[in-house]
Protein backbone atom coordinates (compact mmCIF):
# COMPACT_ATOMS: atom_id res chain seq x y z
CA UNK A 1 0.00 0.00 0.00
CA UNK A 2 2.81 2.38 -0.74
CA UNK A 3 4.20 4.27 -3.68
CA UNK A 4 4.54 7.77 -5.01
CA UNK A 5 2.19 10.09 -6.89
CA UNK A 6 1.59 8.92 -10.44
CA UNK A 7 -0.15 10.63 -13.32
CA UNK A 8 -3.89 10.17 -13.10
CA UNK A 9 -5.20 7.72 -15.65
CA UNK A 10 -8.85 7.61 -16.52
CA UNK A 11 -10.29 4.36 -15.23
CA UNK A 12 -12.98 4.27 -17.89
CA UNK A 13 -14.12 6.85 -20.42
CA UNK A 14 -17.20 8.99 -19.85
CA UNK A 15 -19.09 7.29 -22.67
CA UNK A 16 -18.95 3.92 -20.95
CA UNK A 17 -20.70 4.99 -17.75
CA UNK A 18 -23.50 2.65 -16.76
CA UNK A 19 -26.27 3.62 -14.41
CA UNK A 20 -27.11 0.87 -11.92
CA UNK A 21 -30.65 0.52 -10.47
CA UNK A 22 -29.48 1.79 -7.07
CA UNK A 23 -27.76 4.78 -8.66
CA UNK A 24 -30.88 5.55 -10.69
CA UNK A 25 -33.12 5.37 -7.60
CA UNK A 26 -30.88 7.64 -5.53
CA UNK A 27 -30.65 10.17 -8.35
CA UNK A 28 -34.42 10.19 -8.89
CA UNK A 29 -35.03 10.65 -5.17
CA UNK A 30 -32.55 13.53 -5.16
CA UNK A 31 -34.34 15.09 -8.15
CA UNK A 32 -37.68 14.93 -6.30
CA UNK A 33 -36.14 17.22 -3.67
CA UNK A 34 -34.27 19.70 -5.88
CA UNK A 35 -36.72 20.14 -8.77
CA UNK A 36 -36.97 23.88 -9.49
CA UNK A 37 -40.78 23.90 -9.74
CA UNK A 38 -42.17 21.21 -7.47
CA UNK A 39 -39.16 20.03 -5.49
CA UNK A 40 -39.88 18.88 -1.95
CA UNK A 41 -37.16 21.22 -0.70
CA UNK A 42 -38.85 24.24 -2.28
CA UNK A 43 -42.30 23.19 -1.04
CA UNK A 44 -40.94 22.63 2.47
CA UNK A 45 -39.22 26.03 2.47
CA UNK A 46 -42.50 27.76 1.55
CA UNK A 47 -44.08 26.06 4.58
CA UNK A 48 -41.30 27.13 6.94
CA UNK A 49 -39.64 23.71 6.95
CA UNK A 50 -36.07 22.79 6.01
CA UNK A 51 -35.40 19.57 4.18
CA UNK A 52 -31.94 18.62 2.98
CA UNK A 53 -32.00 16.61 -0.25
CA UNK A 54 -30.76 13.05 0.24
CA UNK A 55 -27.24 12.28 -0.83
CA UNK A 56 -26.88 10.46 -4.12
CA UNK A 57 -23.92 8.55 -2.75
CA UNK A 58 -22.83 7.07 0.54
CA UNK A 59 -19.95 8.67 2.44
CA UNK A 60 -17.12 6.37 3.51
CA UNK A 61 -14.56 7.99 5.81
CA UNK A 62 -11.19 6.28 6.14
CA UNK A 63 -9.00 7.12 9.13
CA UNK A 64 -5.88 5.77 10.78
CA UNK A 65 -2.28 6.57 11.57
CA UNK A 66 -0.06 7.97 8.84
CA UNK A 67 1.08 5.50 6.22
CA UNK A 68 -1.72 3.10 7.13
CA UNK A 69 -2.68 2.60 3.49
CA UNK A 70 -5.79 4.83 3.41
CA UNK A 71 -4.95 6.57 0.15
CA UNK A 72 -3.64 3.34 -1.41
CA UNK A 73 -6.94 1.60 -0.72
CA UNK A 74 -8.88 4.45 -2.35
CA UNK A 75 -6.65 4.31 -5.43
CA UNK A 76 -7.15 0.54 -5.62
CA UNK A 77 -10.92 0.78 -5.29
CA UNK A 78 -11.21 3.55 -7.87
CA UNK A 79 -8.56 1.92 -10.08
CA UNK A 80 -7.09 5.33 -10.68
CA UNK A 81 -4.09 6.98 -9.03
CA UNK A 82 -5.81 9.93 -7.36
CA UNK A 83 -4.25 10.22 -3.92
CA UNK A 84 -0.58 10.49 -3.07
CA UNK A 85 0.82 7.51 -1.20
CA UNK A 86 3.99 6.97 0.79
CA UNK A 87 5.52 6.67 4.22
CA UNK A 88 5.35 10.42 4.81
CA UNK A 89 2.21 12.20 6.00
CA UNK A 90 0.91 12.73 2.47
CA UNK A 91 -2.67 13.60 3.46
CA UNK A 92 -2.63 16.63 5.76
CA UNK A 93 -6.26 17.66 5.21
CA UNK A 94 -9.59 16.12 4.25
CA UNK A 95 -10.07 15.04 0.65
CA UNK A 96 -13.35 13.94 -0.90
CA UNK A 97 -12.88 11.44 -3.72
CA UNK A 98 -16.00 11.05 -5.82
CA UNK A 99 -17.21 10.04 -9.26
CA UNK A 100 -18.32 12.68 -11.74
CA UNK A 101 -18.60 13.71 -15.36
CA UNK A 102 -15.01 14.83 -15.75
CA UNK A 103 -11.77 14.94 -13.81
CA UNK A 104 -11.62 18.02 -11.60
CA UNK A 105 -10.07 19.26 -8.38
CA UNK A 106 -12.09 21.47 -6.02
CA UNK A 107 -11.00 23.71 -3.17
CA UNK A 108 -12.63 24.17 0.24
CA UNK A 109 -15.59 26.44 -0.54
CA UNK A 110 -16.46 24.60 -3.74
CA UNK A 111 -16.26 21.30 -1.85
CA UNK A 112 -18.71 22.49 0.81
CA UNK A 113 -21.03 23.73 -1.93
CA UNK A 114 -20.96 20.23 -3.41
CA UNK A 115 -21.49 18.63 0.02
CA UNK A 116 -23.84 20.95 2.00
CA UNK A 117 -24.31 18.27 4.69
CA UNK A 118 -20.76 19.03 5.85
CA UNK A 119 -21.28 22.77 6.38
CA UNK A 120 -21.06 22.31 10.19
CA UNK A 121 -17.31 21.94 9.56
CA UNK A 122 -17.17 25.72 9.18
CA UNK A 123 -17.27 25.84 12.98
CA UNK A 124 -13.72 24.46 13.04
CA UNK A 125 -11.26 27.24 12.31
CA UNK A 126 -8.82 26.41 9.54
CA UNK A 127 -10.53 23.26 8.22
CA UNK A 128 -11.82 24.94 5.04
CA UNK A 129 -8.25 25.74 3.95
CA UNK A 130 -7.40 22.04 4.19
CA UNK A 131 -10.53 20.75 2.47
CA UNK A 132 -10.52 19.59 -1.13
CA UNK A 133 -12.27 17.23 -3.53
CA UNK A 134 -11.01 15.07 -6.38
CA UNK A 135 -13.56 14.15 -9.03
CA UNK A 136 -12.88 11.08 -11.16
CA UNK A 137 -14.74 9.57 -14.10
CA UNK A 138 -14.12 6.07 -12.77
CA UNK A 139 -17.11 3.73 -12.46
CA UNK A 140 -15.16 0.77 -11.13
CA UNK A 141 -16.80 -1.48 -8.54
CA UNK A 142 -19.48 0.66 -6.83
CA UNK A 143 -17.54 3.90 -7.01
CA UNK A 144 -20.39 5.71 -8.80
CA UNK A 145 -22.35 5.41 -5.54
CA UNK A 146 -19.51 6.10 -3.11
CA UNK A 147 -17.70 9.19 -1.93
CA UNK A 148 -14.53 8.49 0.03
CA UNK A 149 -13.19 10.92 2.60
CA UNK A 150 -9.43 10.58 3.05
CA UNK A 151 -8.48 11.97 6.46
CA UNK A 152 -5.17 13.34 7.77
CA UNK A 153 -2.60 10.76 8.85
CA UNK A 154 -2.61 10.65 12.64
CA UNK A 155 0.55 10.71 14.75
CA UNK A 156 1.43 11.33 18.38
CA UNK A 157 4.11 13.59 19.76
CA UNK A 158 4.92 17.11 18.67
CA UNK A 159 2.94 17.02 15.42
CA UNK A 160 0.89 20.24 15.21
CA UNK A 161 -2.20 20.23 12.99
CA UNK A 162 -3.53 23.51 11.55
CA UNK A 163 -6.98 22.77 13.01
CA UNK A 164 -8.62 20.71 15.75
CA UNK A 165 -8.10 17.39 13.97
CA UNK A 166 -9.78 15.27 16.66
CA UNK A 167 -13.03 17.25 16.62
CA UNK A 168 -12.99 17.62 12.83
CA UNK A 169 -12.62 13.86 12.22
CA UNK A 170 -15.39 13.19 14.76
CA UNK A 171 -17.67 15.64 12.95
CA UNK A 172 -16.89 13.97 9.61
CA UNK A 173 -17.63 10.58 11.13
CA UNK A 174 -21.04 11.70 12.38
CA UNK A 175 -22.00 12.66 8.81
CA UNK A 176 -20.50 9.57 7.16
CA UNK A 177 -22.32 6.32 6.44
CA UNK A 178 -19.27 4.15 7.13
CA UNK A 179 -16.04 4.71 9.05
CA UNK A 180 -13.08 2.51 8.15
CA UNK A 181 -10.26 2.45 10.71
CA UNK A 182 -6.99 1.18 9.25
CA UNK A 183 -4.34 -0.16 11.63
CA UNK A 184 -0.88 -0.46 10.12
CA UNK A 185 1.08 -3.40 11.61
CA UNK A 186 4.38 -1.83 10.55
CA UNK A 187 3.66 1.71 11.74
CA UNK A 188 2.01 3.41 14.69
CA UNK A 189 -0.99 1.12 14.85
CA UNK A 190 -1.45 1.99 18.53
CA UNK A 191 -1.29 5.73 18.00
CA UNK A 192 -3.04 7.27 21.02
CA UNK A 193 -4.59 10.04 18.94
CA UNK A 194 -6.17 7.43 16.65
CA UNK A 195 -7.50 5.43 19.59
CA UNK A 196 -8.88 8.55 21.29
CA UNK A 197 -10.80 9.54 18.16
CA UNK A 198 -12.06 5.98 17.63
CA UNK A 199 -13.29 5.85 21.22
CA UNK A 200 -15.10 9.16 20.77
CA UNK A 201 -16.68 7.98 17.51
CA UNK A 202 -17.71 4.71 19.15
CA UNK A 203 -19.83 6.61 21.67
CA UNK A 204 -21.60 8.67 18.99
CA UNK A 205 -21.83 6.35 15.99
CA UNK A 206 -20.33 3.01 16.91
CA UNK A 207 -22.48 1.12 14.38
CA UNK A 208 -20.58 2.81 11.54
CA UNK A 209 -17.09 1.71 12.67
CA UNK A 210 -15.22 -1.06 10.85
CA UNK A 211 -11.67 -2.09 11.86
CA UNK A 212 -9.08 -3.47 9.43
CA UNK A 213 -5.48 -4.59 9.72
CA UNK A 214 -4.06 -2.94 6.61
CA UNK A 215 -0.80 -3.86 4.88
CA UNK A 216 -1.22 -7.34 6.33
CA UNK A 217 1.18 -8.80 3.73
CA UNK A 218 4.00 -6.68 5.20
CA UNK A 219 3.56 -7.95 8.75
CA UNK A 220 5.85 -10.95 8.29
CA UNK A 221 4.76 -14.46 9.13
CA UNK A 222 1.29 -15.47 10.27
CA UNK A 223 2.45 -15.57 13.90
CA UNK A 224 3.68 -11.97 13.57
CA UNK A 225 0.32 -10.85 12.20
CA UNK A 226 -1.55 -12.58 14.98
CA UNK A 227 0.73 -10.97 17.56
CA UNK A 228 0.14 -7.51 16.11
CA UNK A 229 -3.60 -8.09 15.97
CA UNK A 230 -3.66 -9.23 19.58
CA UNK A 231 -1.77 -6.10 20.64
CA UNK A 232 -4.25 -3.88 18.80
CA UNK A 233 -7.29 -5.73 20.13
CA UNK A 234 -5.97 -5.62 23.69
CA UNK A 235 -5.33 -1.90 23.43
CA UNK A 236 -8.82 -1.32 22.04
CA UNK A 237 -10.40 -3.41 24.79
CA UNK A 238 -8.64 -1.32 27.43
CA UNK A 239 -10.72 1.63 26.28
CA UNK A 240 -14.07 1.74 28.19
CA UNK A 241 -15.93 2.96 25.10
CA UNK A 242 -14.61 0.18 22.84
CA UNK A 243 -14.98 -2.96 24.93
CA UNK A 244 -18.78 -3.05 24.88
CA UNK A 245 -18.98 -5.92 22.43
CA UNK A 246 -16.79 -8.07 20.21
CA UNK A 247 -15.58 -6.82 16.86
CA UNK A 248 -13.84 -8.19 13.81
CA UNK A 249 -10.57 -7.05 12.28
CA UNK A 250 -10.12 -8.54 8.79
CA UNK A 251 -6.64 -8.52 7.29
CA UNK A 252 -6.39 -6.61 4.03
CA UNK A 253 -3.71 -5.53 1.58
CA UNK A 254 -3.50 -4.33 -2.00
CA UNK A 255 -3.11 -7.45 -4.19
CA UNK A 256 0.07 -7.38 -6.28
CA UNK A 257 0.54 -10.17 -8.88
CA UNK A 258 4.28 -9.50 -8.83
CA UNK A 259 4.42 -10.09 -5.08
CA UNK A 260 2.22 -13.07 -4.23
CA UNK A 261 1.53 -13.55 -0.52
CA UNK A 262 0.20 -16.41 1.55
CA UNK A 263 -1.54 -13.98 3.86
CA UNK A 264 -5.32 -14.15 3.74
CA UNK A 265 -6.61 -11.07 1.95
CA UNK A 266 -10.14 -10.05 2.97
CA UNK A 267 -10.21 -6.87 0.94
CA UNK A 268 -13.22 -8.16 -0.99
CA UNK A 269 -15.15 -8.08 2.28
CA UNK A 270 -14.52 -4.33 2.38
CA UNK A 271 -16.19 -4.03 -1.02
CA UNK A 272 -19.10 -6.14 0.22
CA UNK A 273 -19.46 -3.89 3.27
CA UNK A 274 -19.62 -0.84 0.99
CA UNK A 275 -22.19 -2.51 -1.26
CA UNK A 276 -24.32 -3.46 1.74
CA UNK A 277 -24.21 0.12 2.98
CA UNK A 278 -25.30 1.33 -0.46
CA UNK A 279 -28.32 -0.95 -0.35
CA UNK A 280 -29.16 0.31 3.13
CA UNK A 281 -28.76 3.90 1.89
CA UNK A 282 -31.30 3.25 -0.87
CA UNK A 283 -33.78 1.91 1.67
CA UNK A 284 -33.11 4.79 4.10
CA UNK A 285 -33.55 7.33 1.31
CA UNK A 286 -36.89 5.85 0.23
CA UNK A 287 -38.06 5.66 3.85
CA UNK A 288 -36.96 9.25 4.46
CA UNK A 289 -38.83 10.30 1.32
CA UNK A 290 -42.00 8.79 2.81
CA UNK A 291 -41.41 10.59 6.13
CA UNK A 292 -40.80 13.92 4.41
CA UNK A 293 -43.99 13.47 2.37
CA UNK A 294 -45.89 12.83 5.60
CA UNK A 295 -44.31 15.92 7.19
CA UNK A 296 -45.25 18.18 4.27
CA UNK A 297 -48.77 16.76 4.03
CA UNK A 298 -49.41 17.16 7.76
CA UNK A 299 -48.01 20.72 7.67
CA UNK A 300 -50.27 21.67 4.73
CA UNK A 301 -53.27 20.06 6.47
CA UNK A 302 -52.50 21.99 9.65
CA UNK A 303 -52.10 25.20 7.64
CA UNK A 304 -55.50 24.74 5.97
CA UNK A 305 -57.13 23.80 9.29
CA UNK A 306 -55.57 26.84 10.96
CA UNK A 307 -56.85 29.00 8.11
CA UNK A 308 -60.39 27.68 8.63
CA UNK A 309 -60.11 28.51 12.34
CA UNK A 310 -58.80 31.99 11.49
CA UNK A 311 -61.71 32.62 9.11
CA UNK A 312 -64.18 31.58 11.81
CA UNK A 313 -62.36 33.70 14.40
CA UNK A 314 -62.36 36.71 12.08
CA UNK A 315 -66.13 36.38 11.56
CA UNK A 316 -66.65 36.29 15.31
CA UNK A 317 -64.35 39.29 15.82
CA UNK A 318 -66.14 41.29 13.12
CA UNK A 319 -69.52 40.52 14.70
CA UNK A 320 -68.30 41.55 18.16
CA UNK A 321 -66.72 44.70 16.76
CA UNK A 322 -69.95 45.60 14.96
CA UNK A 323 -72.13 44.84 18.02
CA UNK A 324 -70.03 46.84 20.51
CA UNK A 325 -69.62 49.66 18.01
CA UNK A 326 -73.38 49.93 17.49
CA UNK A 327 -74.05 49.87 21.23
CA UNK A 328 -71.31 52.43 21.87
CA UNK A 329 -72.91 54.83 19.39
CA UNK A 330 -76.61 53.96 19.74
CA UNK A 331 -76.92 54.17 23.56
CA UNK A 332 -75.60 57.76 23.94
CA UNK A 333 -77.64 58.87 20.92
CA UNK A 334 -80.78 57.29 22.42
CA UNK A 335 -80.03 58.94 25.77
CA UNK A 336 -79.64 62.43 24.25
CA UNK A 337 -82.49 61.93 21.77
CA UNK A 338 -84.87 60.96 24.59
CA UNK A 339 -84.46 64.31 26.29
CA UNK A 340 -84.86 66.17 23.00
CA UNK A 341 -88.03 64.26 22.04
CA UNK A 342 -89.50 64.80 25.53
CA UNK A 343 -89.74 68.51 24.72
CA UNK A 344 -92.19 67.78 21.89
CA UNK A 345 -95.86 66.92 22.35
CA UNK A 346 -96.87 63.50 20.95
CA UNK A 347 -99.30 65.08 18.48
CA UNK A 348 -96.47 67.24 17.08
CA UNK A 349 -94.30 64.19 16.22
CA UNK A 350 -96.92 62.29 14.20
CA UNK A 351 -96.87 64.69 11.21
CA UNK A 352 -93.03 64.84 11.25
CA UNK A 353 -92.09 61.18 11.72
CA UNK A 354 -95.19 59.22 11.00
CA UNK A 355 -97.48 57.52 13.46
CA UNK A 356 -95.50 54.24 13.78
CA UNK A 357 -92.03 55.76 14.27
CA UNK A 358 -93.38 58.46 16.58
CA UNK A 359 -95.05 55.82 18.74
CA UNK A 360 -91.82 53.76 18.95
CA UNK A 361 -89.80 56.84 19.91
CA UNK A 362 -92.32 57.80 22.56
CA UNK A 363 -92.12 54.32 24.11
CA UNK A 364 -88.29 54.25 24.15
CA UNK A 365 -88.17 57.83 25.39
CA UNK A 366 -90.62 56.98 28.13
CA UNK A 367 -88.44 54.07 29.29
CA UNK A 368 -85.27 56.23 29.34
CA UNK A 369 -87.03 59.07 31.21
CA UNK A 370 -88.55 56.63 33.69
CA UNK A 371 -85.12 55.22 34.45
CA UNK A 372 -83.67 58.71 34.68
CA UNK A 373 -86.34 59.84 37.14
CA UNK A 374 -85.80 56.67 39.17
CA UNK A 375 -82.18 57.78 39.80
CA UNK A 376 -81.88 60.20 42.76
CA UNK A 377 -80.92 63.73 41.76
CA UNK A 378 -77.66 63.59 43.73
CA UNK A 379 -76.60 60.54 41.72
CA UNK A 380 -77.66 61.76 38.26
CA UNK A 381 -74.38 63.60 37.48
CA UNK A 382 -72.38 60.59 38.62
CA UNK A 383 -74.57 58.39 36.43
CA UNK A 384 -73.84 60.58 33.39
CA UNK A 385 -70.10 60.10 33.91
CA UNK A 386 -70.58 56.37 34.44
CA UNK A 387 -72.77 56.09 31.35
CA UNK A 388 -70.22 58.03 29.26
CA UNK A 389 -67.45 55.75 30.47
CA UNK A 390 -69.53 52.68 29.59
CA UNK A 391 -70.09 53.95 26.05
CA UNK A 392 -66.38 54.72 25.68
CA UNK A 393 -65.56 51.19 26.90
CA UNK A 394 -67.96 49.73 24.33
CA UNK A 395 -66.23 51.70 21.55
CA UNK A 396 -62.86 50.54 22.89
CA UNK A 397 -64.05 46.90 22.69
CA UNK A 398 -65.27 47.50 19.15
CA UNK A 399 -61.85 48.82 18.15
CA UNK A 400 -60.10 45.96 20.01
CA UNK A 401 -62.04 43.22 18.22
CA UNK A 402 -61.53 45.01 14.89
CA UNK A 403 -57.77 44.72 15.40
CA UNK A 404 -57.91 41.03 16.31
CA UNK A 405 -58.24 39.90 12.71
CA UNK A 406 -55.95 37.00 11.77
CA UNK A 407 -54.25 36.70 8.43
CA UNK A 408 -56.04 34.21 6.18
CA UNK A 409 -55.10 32.51 2.95
CA UNK A 410 -56.27 33.82 -0.36
CA UNK A 411 -58.17 31.58 -2.76
CA UNK A 412 -55.04 31.36 -4.88
CA UNK A 413 -52.92 30.29 -1.91
CA UNK A 414 -55.49 27.64 -0.89
CA UNK A 415 -55.58 26.30 -4.42
CA UNK A 416 -51.79 26.12 -4.50
CA UNK A 417 -51.67 24.19 -1.23
CA UNK A 418 -54.27 21.72 -2.46
CA UNK A 419 -52.28 21.28 -5.67
CA UNK A 420 -49.19 20.54 -3.57
CA UNK A 421 -51.06 17.85 -1.67
CA UNK A 422 -51.93 16.27 -5.02
CA UNK A 423 -48.26 16.53 -6.03
CA UNK A 424 -47.19 14.83 -2.78
CA UNK A 425 -49.55 11.97 -3.62
CA UNK A 426 -47.79 11.66 -7.00
CA UNK A 427 -44.44 11.59 -5.19
CA UNK A 428 -45.74 8.81 -2.95
CA UNK A 429 -46.77 6.82 -6.01
CA UNK A 430 -43.34 7.35 -7.53
CA UNK A 431 -41.69 6.29 -4.27
CA UNK A 432 -43.77 3.09 -4.33
CA UNK A 433 -42.63 2.35 -7.88
CA UNK A 434 -39.00 3.05 -6.98
CA UNK A 435 -39.25 0.68 -4.03
CA UNK A 436 -40.65 -2.02 -6.31
CA UNK A 437 -37.87 -1.37 -8.81
CA UNK A 438 -35.28 -1.71 -6.04
CA UNK A 439 -36.80 -4.93 -4.69
CA UNK A 440 -37.08 -6.52 -8.14
CA UNK A 441 -33.30 -6.57 -8.45
CA UNK A 442 -32.98 -8.76 -5.36
CA UNK A 443 -36.30 -10.58 -4.83
CA UNK A 444 -37.91 -13.29 -6.94
CA UNK A 445 -40.45 -12.25 -9.55
CA UNK A 446 -43.22 -14.34 -8.00
CA UNK A 447 -42.90 -12.39 -4.74
CA UNK A 448 -44.64 -9.43 -6.40
- What local confidence, expressed as pLDDT, does residue 203 receive? 80
- What local confidence, expressed as pLDDT, does residue 16 receive? 42
- What local confidence, expressed as pLDDT, does residue 332 receive? 83
pLDDT digits (tens, 9 = 90+) for 115-171: 777 777 777 777 777 788 888 887 778 888 888 888 887 776 666 777 778 888 888
First to last CA, the chain: 46
- What local confidence, expressed as pLDDT, does residue 189 receive? 53
Q: Quick one: which of 246, 251, 210 has its CA closest to 228? A: 251
CA 44 to chain centre: 11
pTM above 0.75, yes or no: no
- Give the full edge-to-edge strand order of the sheet including 146-150: 104-106, 131-136, 94-99, 146-150, 58-64, 178-183, 209-213
Average pLDDT, the chain: 77
Q: Quick one: which of 143, 161, 156 has its CA closest to 91? A: 161
- What local confidence, expressed as pLDDT, does residue 349 receive? 61
Q: Quick one: which of 431, 97, 98 has its CA closest to 284? A: 431
**Burial code of 64-86, b = ≥16 C-beta within 10 A, e = fewer?**
bbbbbbbbbbbbbbbbbbbbbbe
* Domain segments of the chain as ranges: 21-54+278-447, 56-264
User: If you count them, how many residues does the chain have?
Assistant: 448
* Distances from the Cα of 340 to the Cα of 335, 345, 384, 426, angstroms: 9, 11, 16, 72
Check: CB of residue 10 under 8 Å from CB of residue 103: yes
In the predicted model, residues of the chain with pLDDT beneath 70 are 1-19, 83-91, 156-159, 186-191, 219-220, 222, 224-225, 234-236, 239-247, 341-362, 442-448
Alpha helices in 342-374 (DSSP H): 346-353, 355-374
Q: Quick one: which of 122, 247, 131, 88 has its CA closest to 180? A: 247
- What local confidence, expressed as pLDDT, does residue 249 receive? 78
The CATH homologous superfamily to which domain 56-264 belongs is P-loop containing nucleotide triphosphate hydrolases (3.40.50.300)
- What local confidence, expressed as pLDDT, does residue 100 receive? 81
* Distances from the Cα of 157 to the Cα of 64, 65, 94, 193, 252, angstroms: 16, 13, 21, 9, 28
- For residues 320 and 325, give the distance between their C-alpha atoms in angstroms, rounded to a whole number: 8
Amino acid sequence: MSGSKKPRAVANPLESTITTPSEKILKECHTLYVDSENGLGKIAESLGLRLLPPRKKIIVMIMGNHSAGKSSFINWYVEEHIQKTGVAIETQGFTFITSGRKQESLTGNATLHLYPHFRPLLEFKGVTDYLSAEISTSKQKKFSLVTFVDTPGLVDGDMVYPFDVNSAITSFGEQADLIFVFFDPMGQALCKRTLNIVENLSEKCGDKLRFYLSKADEAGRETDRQRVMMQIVQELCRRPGLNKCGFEMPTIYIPNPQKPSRCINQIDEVCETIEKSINQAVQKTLNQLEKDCDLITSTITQTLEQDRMNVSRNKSNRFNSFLYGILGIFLPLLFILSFIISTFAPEDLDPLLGEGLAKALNISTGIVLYLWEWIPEDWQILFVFFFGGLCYFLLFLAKYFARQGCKTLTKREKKKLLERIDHIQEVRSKKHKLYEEYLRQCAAEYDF
